[in-house]
Amino acid sequence: MTRSLPDPSLAAFDPKIERTLSSIRRARRRLASEGGEVVIINSPVSSEGESEPPSESETSSFTTNPVDSRAGNMAAPRRITLQEAGAPDFTLQPYQVHHPTAAADFELKTALINLMPKFYGLPAQEPIKHLRDFQAACSTVRRDGADETSILLKAFPFSLEGKAREWYYTQPLANVSNWDTLRKEFLEKFFPSEVTNKLRKDISTIVQDNNETLFEYWERFNNLLEACPHHMIDNIVLLSYVTQGMRPQDKTTLESASNGSMKKYKTTDEAWQLISDLAESTRNHRQKQGRSRAVAEVSSGIETATLNRSICEMTNLLKQMQLNQQAQQTQPQQNQQLVPQRICGICADYSHYTDECP
């Protein structure tokens, strides 16, 4: 039977183990008072009082571990109160817009940001006009390291204010990272179907006012078409709308310019161009009418002021006459009250006074 090799993890045999243990304890206490990190074990003391060098296993087994020492010196984790835990941390929120095609050194100039049109989300504002103006402003940017889509995505938040910017911050990442999707969501939010239906109704029921020239009427009609480019109405139907709303004299002029019948001798494009030319010819008519109308308004204003002054004078005169008449009526009554009545104190007769009593 073969003998097994000694286990290296076991300490060497020490015949004087109690003395060795006491010396180790003294060394530990001394080093603890001095603030040392590594324990140097004294060698066991022999019976003759000579010291022996400690064995390798004893030194390794009683040496302090530097990892355990660092772990003991680490500070405890900081206490986080409920208020700190519930406080918002903006750095945890990811940035909304990502530009995969933009260069890392691309930046928007301050001049471009100041040039941006502002959209507040108000009912009176036109979202389509805002997008048109916004794209026109972004087209002036030099595209160094970025394409047009990246510029539009990066500059679009600076053109929004108020409710519009609040809506932008609520959009998911998929919407704000794609210009086509962002534009559709913007129009769906601030240009709903109700607005489209109202504009279509205004186009179909347009009527020229009595004091409105053909140029102003035609310009108002084109503004409605620009405000709703997705009206989906055919040009022939649009021509019927605009001609039916004309005044009779303008409609007669249009028919005369078309050799008696616009529907019979003109195509859609020719009729559209003819109306545009006639409207352009009446551009300055409004100024002449406005000038004569201003003179008439001034003269009528003077006449009205004179008439009002005369009426006021007549009213005061009538009031004075009425007061004089009332004064004349009340004066005899007061005189009658002041005259003493005839009564005799002796015979109590009303026909004579007391001194006249027979």
278, with CB counted inside 10 A (0-12, 13-18, 19+), is middle
pLDDT in tens, the chain (358 residues): 555 566 666 666 677 777 888 888 888 888 877 765 544 444 444 444 444 444 544 444 444 454 455 545 556 777 878 777 766 654 444 455 555 555 555 677 888 888 889 999 998 889 999 999 999 988 887 766 677 888 888 889 999 999 999 999 999 988 888 999 999 999 999 998 888 899 999 999 999 998 899 999 999 999 999 988 888 899 899 999 999 999 999 988 888 888 888 888 889 899 999 999 999 988 877 544 444 554 455 455 667 778 888 888 888 888 888 888 887 776 655 555 544 556 676 776 767 767 777 6
For the beta carbon of residue 212, count every other beta carbon within 10 angstroms.
16
In the three-class reduction of DSSP (H, G, I as helix; E, B as strand; rest coil), residue 119 is classed as strand
CA–CA gap between residue 207 and residue 203 (Å, rounded): 9
Euclidean distance between CA atoms 351 and 341, whole angstroms: 10
Q: Are 214 and 246 in contact (CB under 8 A)?
A: yes
Distance CA 123, CA 129 (A): 13
For the entire predicted model, the pTM comes to 0.50
- Cα 183 to Cα 186: distance, rounded to the nearest angstrom: 5
Q: What is the CA radius of gyration of the chain?
A: 54
